Each structure stands twice: as C-alpha cells, then as structure tokens.
Amino acid sequence: MMDNTKSYQLFQKAKEIMPGGITANIKNFSPYPIFMRSGKGAYLTDVDNNEYIDYLLSYSALMLGHGHPKIKDTIENHVQEFGTWLYGTPSEIEIEFGKMIQHYYPSIELLRYTNSGTEATLLAIRLAFAYTGKHKIAKFEGHYHGGHRQVLFSIAPPMSEAGDVTHPNTVPNSKELASKDQEQTIILPFNDLEHAEEILKANQDQIAALVMEPIQDGFLPVDQSFINGIRQITQKLGIVLIFDEVKTGFRVSMGGAQSLYNIEPDLTTLGKTIGGGFPIGVVGGKKDILMQSAPANHQSDWKAMDTLFHSGTYNGHPLILAAGMTTVKILEQEINDVFKRADVLKKELEKLFFEKGIAMQAMGIGSMFNIILTDQPLSNYRDFMLSDIELRKRIDLYLLDEGIYVKPGNRYSLSTMHGEQEIEKTLDAYKKVLSKTLVSTS
C-alpha cells in the first residue's frame, strides 16, 4: 500500500490556509486529496514520491500530457522573441489563433477570449440575454457549465429531490442560491425530445438560451435525432442554442461534438484543451450575437447600456494563445493515434470486467471515456445514478495504490503521451484491483 503521509500532513496544513484545505472543491475527495509535486508525460509524482499514470489530466485539459517539450519551447521562444508575456493591448496572435479556431468550428463567425470555461459559459449566457431581451435559461439535468449562479442547478441532484423524470425539478447545487435564482433556470430531461420540447414551448417567451453539453460530462452521448430536434425547436422558438464544448472541444474530434453530429449551434464555448495546460476560454458564434459586446466607436450619442460589457486583463493572453496554437498543431498530427489507444484501453477493460463477472461499460467518444458499472442502457443522468457508483469509487481508490490516478468516480482522459506501455501497466493494475475488489465485496 502506498505511503501518503506527506499528502495527509499537507492537507492538515492547507486547512489552516484555505477553507476545507482546498481552493477548488472539485479537487477534493475522501479521505483526503493527494498533493502532487511534479509531472512528466503521462505521469504524475506526488509529495511522497509515488508515481502515477495520470488519467485525470487536469480534468482533460492536458491533451499533450505534462511538460510537453514543444509547449516548453513555445513559451521560451515567445518570451525570447517578444520580451514580455503580457501587453494589455490587442496583439496579432489573437487573430491568428482565432482563425485556427474558426477553421475547425465554422459555426464561429466571431469570437471572444476569456480565462476559463466558467467565464466562457457566463459570457455566452449574457450575450444571449442581450441579444434576445429575455433573461431565463434552460439547461439539462446532469449537465455542468461552470460555477456561476444561473447554471448551478441540477448538476447532480439527489433522486429524492429531482422530481419527475420528464419534468425535472430545479435543484440548487450551491448554498448561496436564492429562490429568485431558481426561478431563472429551467431544467430539461436529456435525450427526451418530446418533454424537452413541451417545456421549451411553455416557456419560450422567457427563455433566452438553452445551454447544453452535446456529450454529457464528456462521455454520455446525445442521440442524433434528439440533437437534430433541439436545433430545430430552438430556431423555431427564438432561443439561442449554446453548445458547451469546454470538455469536448478538440477531445472527441478536432471540431468537437458539433462536427460529429453535424449541428451548428448559435454559440459555442471552448476551454481546457485549447490552452495547452494554461487558463483559457473562448466564446464564439453568430456575428449578430457576438456584436452585442462590440465597443462603440466614439459615437456621440453612445450610452453604456448600448453595449454588453465584457473585459478582462488577461483575455487573449498572448503566451497562452501561443501554447494553444502549438497544441492544436500537434493534435492535427497525433489526435487519431490518441483515439486508437483510447479504443484499445476501453475494449480491454470491458473484457477484464466481463471475465470477473462485473457489469461495466466503457462509455465515451474519442480521447475520453468513463467506466460505468452497469449493463443497462444509459441515456441520461438518472440512468447513470442507477449504476454502482460506490463500487466504482472503491475500485479507483485501490487503483491509486497501483499507480493509476483518476479522481475517484471521474472520467478518463488520454493524452498524446499515453502509449502502449502505459496501457499495459493500466491493464495489469486493473487485473490486481478487480481481484481485490471481488474479495472485498464477497
């Protein structure tokens, strides 16, 4: 069993500095999170000098793995050539990177940069408000869109509070939310076109935008007929359709989920992978909607209320955009290899679980998947909640002792640095762990 003494000690010290010892709640897990010291390629090393194959990859942000040499070179060369890493002014790379994004996401006619996926979804929703003059949103049960007030509902609702599966309740996922916030967010059933349409039609005069993950949590896909229907309904009702592709952008294909499903949303949010491991977000889409944020050109009759205010000192950070461009260029050459290795790992894991008599589906597209302990069909959050979540977490805790890192219960992400050797090590670890798990549960 691995020694994690220093992680435990640091966690106790961290609680003296940060509430709960953590500065991002998602990084926490029981009994205490592991503190990492270094990373290289597909590996992380913790403060106790334990080494792990990293499948969390900073929640899928590191598609080139840790410390990729070309990213290092990009950063060093950028500083060497330009002498600084932040201007506080427009720079040419904002245009260059924007064109690269538009090439793979043709639905993006104009775009704006932000500093995170949360900022991107927040801006996208604000743009929809400004464009439509309406101020409610719709979102799907089980979908995550960041940490701002209007989307912190029904992300992971307890089944006792979730309500009818066809007309889900709006369940708060954070303490500070008030009833007035709750009234502004309408929850829809995922992959259920009939009832989603019914709810949207009943609230069409109030809903500015429908924001959705086209692949829920990066692994649970949408039905093609459902997404086609949602696109048609939102167009008919004058509701802005926002695809949150912060997880799926450049992960399930170079053009994200929208290219797989051949759907053009009104707005798209991107993040994670496109920053090469640095904080970034992008909001892009139809020109008429993005122009809501365009600054006035010194018009004499201009008022602040005429423009949606959006700003940020670090928006379009030139060093991060340089790292992002390098990331995309590498993925252009290597993404299919990552997909192939992910498919091999999924199939081999399913085979192992089958041999051990444990129901399991390795569900996902491209470079991401999740291990769902059920043999029943899955189409939404509630189906997922019927799987054996506690056994999955227990397996993940055992895997930590075998040098496989994924936050217990989280999805798997592969990078360009996860090769055949890492897959073999992972399968060997699983063989040991599944035998332990069977003993512990018998």
CB 271 within 8 A of CB 312: no
- Cα dihedral: 248, 253, 258, 264 (round 10): 120
Indicate which residue of 55, 113, 131, 144 is catalytic. Answer: 144
Concerning whether 432 is annotated as a catalytic residue, the answer is no
For 103, other C-beta atoms within 10 Å of its C-beta total 12
Amino acid letter at 17?
I
- Cα dihedral: 322, 324, 328, 329 (round 10): 20
Concerning whether 48 is annotated as a catalytic residue, the answer is no
Distance CA 325, CA 71 (A): 10
Distance CA 360, CA 349 (A): 9
Q: Which of 230, 227, 222, 223 is nearest to 201 (CA)?
A: 230
Q: What b/e readout covers 213-240, taking b as 16+ CB neighbours within 10 angstroms?
A: bbbbbbbbbbeeebbeebbebbeeeebb
CB 84 within 8 A of CB 434: no
DSSP three-state, residue 176: coil
Indicate which residue of 46, 192, 244, 383 is catalytic. Answer: 244
Concerning whether 244 is annotated as a catalytic residue, the answer is yes
Indicate which residue of 134, 139, 272, 407 is catalytic. Answer: 272
Catalytic residues: 144, 244, 272
